[in-house]
Structure 1
Amino acid sequence: MKFTTLVCITYVVLVLMSFLVPIKSYVFENSVKPPCNQIEITDCISAILYGDKPTAKCCGEMKAQQPCFCDFIKNPVFNKYVTSPQARAILQSCGIPYPIC
């Protein structure tokens, strides 16, 4: 009888404790959007100016900025960099789809 009582009390305590333990919830997003207040094209200069094949570093920069493309297109300061034929060629060469905003 004492053993059964001890098991029941332990069970009740565990159930009550499980309600008191904070539960962490995580929100997963498809991508974390970086700040879109500047465009980074430093490693893509030769591809932009001379039509060279973009380097791996250039493609990495473009992939990192991909969530900002629509913001860049809407911004008159950055629009010419993202909508130019060179930019489209770089994105295609890097395997990045051109944004549909």
Structure 2
Amino acid sequence: MKATFSSSLVMAMLLLFLSNQVWVSTAVVCNPIGLSPCLTAMMSSAVPPSPGCCSALTEQKPCLCQYIKDPSLEHYVNSDNAKKVAGICHVPFPTNC
């Protein structure tokens, strides 16, 4: 009985450890440089976003409010072109930041 409890405890701790590792490894690192593939499309309405831009925008989606609140980034990230790029890439643009 004691061995079963011990091994169950070890398994539970192992599962908890592994689930935390997965969570940590999938966390998004908010770095505006990650949006660099979108810079041309965000600056010019004549340039469509590339697949790499859409991928980067999707990855950085949880960070968009943070970028909008940053005075040095707001002009780029909250522009009409940036909203257009987000729409083309099917990334919901945040409205409640």
Q: TM-score, normalised by structure 1?
A: 0.70
- Other-structure match for 1:78: 73
Separation in 1, partners of 2:68, 2:39: 19
1:40 to 34, 40, 48: 34
Q: 1:75 to 1:46 in 2, by over 3 A?
A: closer
Aligned residue type for 2:4:
S
| Aligned-residue identity in percent | 28
Aligned residue type for 1:18:
T
Q: Secondary structure at the match of 2:75?
A: helix
How many residues align structurally?
85
Separation in 1, partners of 2:62, 2:71: 17
Separation in 1, partners of 2:88, 2:53: 11
Aligned residue type for 1:91:
A
Aligned residue type for 1:69:
L
| Structure 2: unaligned runs, 5 residues or longer | none
Higher helix share: 2
Q: TM-score, normalised by structure 2?
A: 0.72
Deviation for aligned residue 1:91? 0.2
Q: 1:56 to 1:84 in 2, by over 3 A?
A: same
Per-residue deviation, residues 79-100 of structure 1 (Å, max 9, x unmatched): 1121100100000000000113
Separation in 2, partners of 1:98, 1:66: 8
Moved over 6 A (4+): none
Provide the alpha-carbon RMSD of the alignment. Answer: 2.1
Aligned residue type for 1:19:
F
Separation in 2, partners of 1:67, 1:77: 18
